[in-house]
Amino acid sequence: MFCDELLDRCLKENLIKVKPDQLTVNQYQPGQGIPPHIDTHSAFEDTIISLSLGAKTVMDFKHTDGRSVSVVLPARSVLVMTGESRYLWSHGITPRKFDVVPVGDAEKASIVSGDSGDLTLHKRGTRTSFTFRKVRRTPCDCAFPSVCDSQSSPGDPSSPSVPQSDRDASCLENEFVHKVYEEIASHFSSTRHSPWPRVVDFLQSLPTGAILADVGCGNGKYLGLKQDLFAVGCDRSRNLVDICGERSFQVLVSDALEVPLRSGICDACISIAVIHHFSTKERRLAAIKELVRLLRPGGKALIYVWAMEQEYNKQKSKYLKGKKVNQEEGSAQRPEQTADHLGHSTSLASNHRPAGKEVKDCSLTRQNMSTLSIHTNRTAFHSQDLLVPWHLKSSAPRDKNVGKSLGSADKSPIFHRYYHVFCEEELESLCREVENIAIQTSYYDQGNWCVILEKKSE
């Protein structure tokens, strides 16, 4: 078997010290990629070997201190990750159809430098990867405990709590929103392609030449829906903004609390599944005020937030109707493929609040719970402030009949995103605290509370 011959040659040339006993095969079409990740320490030994067949690609490596290196992997090349490159640096492949590569020998591995005069564009082909690993039988004792699941404490005292100050809220959102989206951007984008019909209706109602700001645009799925608009998007995640850029959208990196656009410049703004990531009422209110600041008098804003009531008027949302096993939903939008575990240890709180209570009862739920609970996917919510698991896929989203692991089950990381789910009338109540606006309409849409605001003339 050619795999044995390859591994024997690697041993003979001292590229590896022990022979792997596990193989994963994946095939990637142009436009597909691999989310940035570090292979779980406790699952596999030090050395990981990746054989690239078919077409070359560019793999991105990122250090925890922010450094990054892009490496060209030619066809029929072998990549060996060991030590720091295996345990500390994340690796992934950006989903795109063209790579920027150095000019020169196409069969030679190389690093992509910043010298634009030495670069060219290369069209991707179909790449098949053979990844060899050695299954670990004992806990990992590597020199990188900060990223090692074997060496982390199961009783981590830093389990997140409901923030009591703006500083606490900012730290919580940075850890359980911003950092998570940077890690899951590629996988997240692959699950976000079907626009909400009523969001489309709002955009289609805008006149030709209207200026639109999509605040928290994600992968930009709403930016190109109406070609006669001047649309600009912003998102806190640089990786999501990069995906938008690859789709030729006008985008920038920005926090939703401080959008670097002039006041009164927009005819319309949309904020779809964004404000529920802010962890205090004050910050959620500030996000709405920032949308209003951007609007001209008479301009409109559409806001969507996740609803506490996932069953409304005796109808279950698509989120509850979805499969409960191996699927996860971030904004009650559509099923997403899932896998296994990594992340933060948090306690399970169980302050149950029946649906249909008044808004004031919802706020009591939050006040009585000091530690954030972890939500069980595809079930009703029992608290307003919680962590929702995201199971990161390690293979391309549309691969079929490939990626099957031989000798060991694939273990992919779980990340937890913070959410504040809104009770009925809570969003409208928050909007009424904003000056100089009128609520044009409000409605419930498949597990989300939604409003359309209009800015009054001053």
The neighbour count for residue 53, using CB atoms within 10 Å, is 14
- pLDDT score, position 334: 32
- List per-residue pLDDT tens for the chain, 458 residues long: 789 999 999 999 999 999 999 999 999 999 988 888 888 888 899 999 999 999 999 999 998 777 889 999 999 999 999 999 999 999 999 889 998 888 876 667 778 876 656 888 889 999 999 999 999 888 888 888 878 877 764 434 346 888 988 989 999 999 999 999 999 999 999 988 889 999 999 999 999 999 999 999 999 999 999 999 999 999 999 999 999 999 999 999 999 999 999 999 999 999 999 999 999 999 999 999 999 999 999 999 999 999 999 888 878 888 877 654 333 333 333 323 222 222 222 222 222 233 333 333 343 333 334 678 888 887 888 889 999 999 887 653 433 333 333 333 445 688 999 999 999 999 999 999 999 999 999 999 999 999 999 999 87
Domain termination site, one of 100, 121, 146: 146
Chain centroid, CA 121 distance in Å:
27
**Please, are residues 38 and 88 in contact by the beta-carbon 8 Å criterion?**
yes
Are 296 and 378 members of one domain? yes
User: Which of 343, 344, 339, 342 shows the shortest CA–CA distance to 410?
Assistant: 339
> Helix 166-173 crosses helix 281-294 at what angle (to 10 degrees)?
80
- pLDDT score, position 115: 64
Are 378 and 284 members of one domain? yes
Using DSSP's 3-state secondary structure scheme, residue 367 falls into: helix
- pLDDT score, position 359: 38
How far is the C-alpha of 434 from the C-alpha of 292, rounded, in Å? 8
Does some domain include residue 89?
yes
**Please, are residues 307 and 329 in contact by the beta-carbon 8 Å criterion?**
no
Cα radius of gyration rounded to whole Å, the chain: 24
Phi and psi angles of residue 415, each rounded to the nearest 5 degrees, phi first? -115, 150
Does some domain include residue 21?
yes
Does some domain include residue 434?
yes
Chain centroid, CA 49 distance in Å:
27
Domain termination site, one of 99, 119, 146: 146
Does some domain include residue 157?
no
Does some domain include residue 16?
yes
Are 193 and 114 members of one domain? no
Are 185 and 309 members of one domain? yes
Are 287 and 312 members of one domain? yes
Model pLDDT for residues 249-280, shown as the tens digit of each residue:
999 999 999 999 999 999 999 999 999 999 99
Angle at 413 between CA 407 and CA 163, to 5 degrees: 160
Are 127 and 200 members of one domain? no
Going from the C-alpha of 69 to that of each of 61, 62, 321, the distances in angstroms are: 5, 7, 43
Residue 91: give its domain's CATH number: 2.60.120.1520
Going from the C-alpha of 6 to that of each of 48, 55, 85, 157, 224, the distances in angstroms are: 14, 19, 21, 46, 47
User: Which of 177, 170, 139 shows the shortest CA–CA distance to 273?
Assistant: 177
Are 63 and 122 members of one domain? yes
pTM: 0.58
Does some domain include residue 152?
no
- pLDDT score, position 412: 66
Are 168 and 137 members of one domain? no
Are 262 and 391 members of one domain? yes
- β-pairing, 266-272 vs 211-215, is parallel
Domain holding 329, by residue range, is 163-458
> Which residue in the block uniquely carries the two structure tokens 């670069």?
119
Phi and psi angles of residue 100, each rounded to the nearest 5 degrees, phi first? -90, 120
- pLDDT score, position 131: 94
Are 269 and 333 members of one domain? yes
Does some domain include residue 382?
yes
User: Which of 263, 262, 268 shows the shortest CA–CA distance to 298?
Assistant: 268
Does some domain include residue 155?
no
Are 183 and 238 members of one domain? yes
Model pLDDT for residues 180-216, shown as the tens digit of each residue:
999 999 999 998 888 999 999 999 999 999 999 999 9
Are 19 and 48 members of one domain? yes
Residue 352: give its domain's CATH number: 3.40.50.150
Number of domains in the chain: 2
Give residue 286's region: left, alpha or beta (phi > 0; psi -120 to 50). alpha
